[in-house]
């Protein structure tokens, strides 16, 4: 796998998603509640490519709680550039509105893995961070 090419394709996918989010009128209030996984009975899943990209642009953080994202400090995300698709698609105020978008972009993410010959491994971010 040519990581840089795959990372560039992933960044393009993220930019396309941002445009679709704006078009749908979805907005993040920046409250940080999405990082409190227990509050929404939420598990943040990521793929191998997303995890590798995250670590290419952000420092690896160790989870100190299974209920919180380790990249959230003082209710702010420290991994804005590298945050995975699940973070980008989670809107605590408009969950229903983003479901179709989520399905569409997860399909595109899977195609990106296939195109670049990257094994599709989809598991919780906290597991990736603990085990690598």
* Pairwise CA distance, residues 43 & 65, whole Å: 13
pLDDT value for 37: 75
* Pairwise CA distance, residues 26 & 2, whole Å: 33
pLDDT value for 15: 97
Report pLDDT digits (tens) over 62-73.
877 777 888 988
Domain housing 100: 3-131
Mean pLDDT per 10-residue interval, the chain, length 132 residues: 92 95 81 75 90 95 81 86 90 69 93 95 92 80
Q: For the chain, give the percent of residues with pLDDT over 70.
A: 95
User: How many domains in the chain?
Assistant: 1
């Amino acid at each position: 796998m040519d990581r840089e090419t795959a990372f560039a394709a992933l960044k393009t996918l993220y930019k396309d998603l941002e445009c679709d989010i704006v078009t749908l009128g979805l907005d993040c209030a920046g409250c940080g509640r999405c990082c409190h996984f227990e509050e929404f009975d939420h598990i943040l899943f990521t793929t191998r490519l997303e995890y590798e990209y995250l670590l290419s642009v952000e420092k690896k953080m160790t989870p100190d709680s299974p209920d919180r994202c380790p990249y959230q400090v003082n209710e702010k995300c420290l991994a804005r550039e590298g945050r995975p698709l699940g973070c980008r698609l989670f809107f605590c105020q408009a969950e229903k509105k983003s479901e179709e978008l989520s399905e569409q972009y997860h399909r595109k993410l899977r195609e990106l893995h296939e195109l670049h010959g990257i094994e599709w491994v989809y598991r919780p971010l906290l597991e990736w961070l603990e085990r690598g």
